[in-house]
């Protein structure tokens, strides 16, 4: 029996077909899964077979499977393996007919599905890390180039990845071309289109030379781990990475340079680089490999105006691989002056709440959605001003880099700016506080108030508000124990 899907990632179609097949007791070995891309087969014959059209699904026949299996399906369908739908339907069939399966951690089908999911996640990660935009003049928008990137994903991940790029590069217009599909972001919406050819993508631009100069400057020969680097950045990505051409010569001289570095006295780093160069660089520093590099990169960031007025950037601090990461809004006055997050009055209140829960501050990681202090001057005083959505969106990729580096199991969003940055949409904090939401990357986010909201409350309400805040955070405590 043929089960037909509208396209390579038709998860809704798969669910509908699978439900119908299950209801009709069609065993997996009798089903032949087809996607529209496989053939002009469907061109003249829109799906009348399969789908609910030919089979009337009894309502009572819906199967109850674990939510984790449905999430697994959503990732596995993105894999390019033509057998993925057959595998998922077989698993579904077996989950319904073999109750013991859900408790079998080494079942071969389950392991195969998990491996496919893992490969898809890896592909998504590589796309985020190794895709490079190049500016192309756009006659319709003089002075505002379109940024175009070419990428060859191993799996059908473009639609899954595009919203992430839209959030990270919210303020520029860009297009990603791949052999199978393309996507364009106009600053407001994503538009999908057909696949493209490599020659449709722009070649090196003038700004690229600047990027290469910058890459050479930040290349640290003492930290070179060639095998690790090749594992993380397989050769197949090198063709589209401008800096790849530097790897061999830089690696060749690394040994000698690191010897010279050891012998040299410490130098004072230059705080800022000239603005003309920054404009090119900031679009391209999209891969930081350590928290130290993150600090360095955010110090130079001018993707929004805040960096120009702050004393310095303030990045997250705490346990390098903390299980729990707290995200606030932006550094305050004290944080800006001293360069550490949450050390002022709001930080002290957070520390007090953590202490009540028996959580040491250095066991967790504490950061902010925005890395520079935004303020307005009243006389000589710098008064906190909330960042705009644009400013938070411009800073989002630094926060995502931090999450990638620390890899917390779960996060706590302190207030609405953090919640929006972490979730990608506006979260009504008052109604959602104390609840766990789930991010696109699968991490759970506990929503609660920002401690400075407690500081602003009338004295009579403070005690109760603090107790409620601690009660919210108590829900995150079990992450620390896990
Ligand atoms: N408020 C925040 O959101 N973060 C800080 O680091 C300090 C105050």
DSSP string computed for 72-120: HHHHHTTS--TTHHHHHHHHHHHHHH-GGGGG-TT-HHHHHHHHHHHHH
Identify whether 272 is part of a domain: no
pLDDT of residue 302: 82
- Indicate whether 181 belongs to any domain: yes
Helix (H/G/I), strand (E/B), else coil: 12: helix
Domain identity same for 343 and 386:
yes
- The token duo for 261 is 């570095």
CA of 394 to the centre of ligand 1 (A): 18
Same domain assignment for residues 83 and 172: no
Distance CA 176, CA 162 (A): 8
- How many other CB atoms are found less than 10 A from the CB of residue 436? 15
Listed residues 157, 178, 200: the one ending a domain: 200
* 264 part of a folded domain: no
Helix crossing, 206-218 with 244-263: angle to 10°? 30
Of 233, 236, 213, 215, the C-alpha closest to 225 is 233
CA atoms in the 13 A half-sphere facing the CB of 296: 16
Same-domain pairing of 231 and 98: no
Q: Is the CB of 344 under 6 A from ligand 1?
A: yes
Predicted model pTM = 0.52
Residue 372 lies in a domain: yes
Compute the distance from residue 318 Cα to the ligand 1 centre, in Å.
14
CA 270, distance to chain mean position in Å, is: 31
What pLDDT is attached to residue 427? 96
CA distance 361 to 356: 12
C-beta of 145 in contact with ligand 1 (< 6 A): no
Let me know if residue 187 belongs to a domain. yes
Closest CA to 124 of 404, 368, 472: 404
Q: What confidence score (pLDDT) does residue 60 get?
A: 41
What are 340's two structure tokens?
Answer: 């550490």
338 and 430 inside one domain: yes
Task: List the CATH number of the domain containing 406.
Answer: 3.40.470.10
DSSP-based three-state secondary structure for 282: helix
Q: Is any atom of ligand 1 closer than 6 Å to the C-beta of 367?
A: no
Q: At what angle do helices 67-76 and 84-97 cross, to 10 degrees?
A: 170
Residue 349's pLDDT is 97
Q: What 3-state class would DSSP assign to 148?
A: strand
> Same domain for 348 and 462?
yes
Q: Do 477 and 345 share a structural domain?
A: yes
pLDDT tens for the chain, 482 residues long, are 899 999 999 999 999 999 999 989 999 999 999 998 644 333 333 343 444 444 454 444 456 777 788 889 999 999 999 999 999 999 999 988 887 887 777 889 999 999 999 999 989 988 988 888 888 877 778 878 888 888 999 999 999 999 999 988 888 889 999 999 999 998 889 999 888 888 877 766 655 565 566 556 656 666 666 676 666 667 777 777 776 777 777 777 776 776 666 666 554 433 443 443 444 333 333 457 889 989 988 998 887 889 989 999 999 999 999 999 999 999 999 999 999 999 999 999 999 999 999 999 999 999 999 999 999 988 888 999 999 998 999 899 899 999 999 999 999 999 999 999 999 999 999 999 999 999 988 999 999 999 999 999 999 999 999 999 999 999 999 898 87
| pLDDT score of 288 | 74
Same domain? 301 vs 187:
no
Provide the pLDDT for residue 268: 43
Question: Are residues 189 and 230 located together in one domain of the fold?
Answer: no
* Within a domain: 85: yes
Alpha carbon of 347 to ligand 1 centroid (Å): 7
Question: Looking at the domain assignment, is residue 271 inside a domain?
Answer: no
Determine the distance separating the centroid of ligand 1 and the alpha carbon of 330, expressed in angstroms.
Answer: 5
- Ligand 1 center to 405 CA (angstroms): 20
What pLDDT, on the 0 to 100 scale, is given for residue 221?
67
Atom of ligand 1 nearest to the CA of 417: 3
Same domain? 388 vs 458: yes
Tokens for 24, please give them.
């009709």
Q: Which two tokens stand for residue 227?
A: 């095998």
Q: Could you tell me whether strands 381-384 and 375-378 are parallel, antiparallel, or unpaired per DSSP bridges?
A: antiparallel
- CB of 331 shorter than 6 A to ligand 1: yes
- Say how many domains are in the chain: 4
Q: For residues 450 and 324, state if they share a domain.
A: yes
Would the CB of 387 count as within 6 Å of ligand 1? no
Give the DSSP H/E element, type plus range, for residue 15.
helix 11-23
- Can you spell out the DSSP letters for 191-209? EEEE---GGGS----HHHH
Q: Examine the domain organization and report whether 98 and 195 are in the same domain.
A: no
Are 213 and 230 members of one domain? yes
Q: Which domain holds residue 190?
A: 131-137+144-200
Question: Does 357 map to a domain?
Answer: yes
Q: How far is the CA of 417 from the centre of ligand 1 (A)?
A: 11
pLDDT at residue 275, as a whole number: 42
State which of 97, 126, 155 marks the end of a domain. 126
């Amino acid at each position: 029996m043929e089960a037909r899907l509208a396209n390579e990632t038709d998860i809704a179609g798969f669910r509908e077909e699978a439900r119908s097949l299950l209801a009709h007791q069609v065993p997996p070995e009798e089903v032949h899964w087809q996607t529209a891309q496989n053939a002009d087969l469907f061109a003249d014959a829109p799906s009348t077979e399969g789908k609910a059209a030919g089979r009337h699904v009894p309502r009572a026949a819906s199967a109850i499977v674990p939510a984790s299996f449905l999430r697994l399906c959503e990732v596995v369908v993105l894999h390019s393996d033509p057998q993925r739908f057959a595998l998922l339907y077989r698993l579904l069939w077996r989950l319904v007919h073999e109750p013991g399966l859900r408790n079998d951690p080494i079942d071969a089908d389950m392991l195969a599905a998990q491996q496919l999911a893992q490969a898809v996640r890896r592909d998504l990660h590589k796309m985020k890390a190794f895709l490079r935009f190049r500016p192309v003049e756009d006659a319709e928008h003089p002075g505002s180039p379109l940024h175009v990137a070419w990428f060859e994903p191993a799996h059908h991940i473009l639609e899954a990845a595009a919203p992430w790029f839209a959030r990270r590069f919210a303020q520029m217009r860009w297009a990603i071309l791949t052999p199978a599909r393309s996507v364009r972001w106009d600053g407001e919406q994503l538009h999908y289109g057909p696949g493209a050819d490599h020659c449709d993508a722009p070649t090196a631009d003038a700004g690229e030379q600047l990027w290469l100069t910058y890459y050479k400057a930040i290349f640290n020969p003492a930290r070179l781990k060639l095998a690790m680097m090749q594992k993380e950045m397989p050769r197949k990505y090198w063709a589209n990475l401008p800096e790849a051409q530097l790897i061999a010569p830089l690696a060749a001289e690394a040994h000698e340079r690191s010897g010279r570095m050891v012998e040299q006295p410490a130098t004072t780093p230059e705080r800022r680089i000239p603005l003309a160069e920054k404009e090119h660089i900031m679009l391209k520093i999209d891969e930081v490999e350590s928290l130290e590099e993150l600090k360095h990169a955010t110090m130079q960031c001018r993707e929004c105006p805040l960096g120009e007025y702050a004393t310095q950037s303030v990045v997250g601090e705490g346990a390098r691989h903390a299980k729990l990461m707290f995200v606030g809004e932006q550094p305050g006055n004290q944080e800006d002056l001293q360069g550490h997050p949450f050390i002022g009055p709001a930080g002290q209140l957070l520390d007090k709440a953590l202490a009540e829960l028996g959580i040491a501050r250095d066991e967790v990681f504490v950061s902010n959605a925005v890395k520079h202090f935004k303020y307005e001057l009243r006389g000589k005083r710098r008064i906190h001003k909330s960042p705009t959505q644009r400013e938070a969106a411009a800073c989002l990729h630094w926060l995502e880099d931090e999450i990638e580096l620390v890899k917390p199991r779960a996060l706590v969003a302190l207030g609405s700016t953090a919640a929006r940055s972490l979730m990608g949409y506006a979260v009504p904090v008052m109604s959602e506080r104390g609840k766990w939401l789930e991010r696109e990357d699968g991490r759970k986010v506990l929503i609660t108030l920002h401690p400075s909201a407690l500081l602003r409350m009338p004295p009579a309400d403070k005690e109760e508000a603090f107790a409620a805040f601690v009660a919210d955070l108590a829900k995150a405590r079990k992450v620390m124990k896990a």
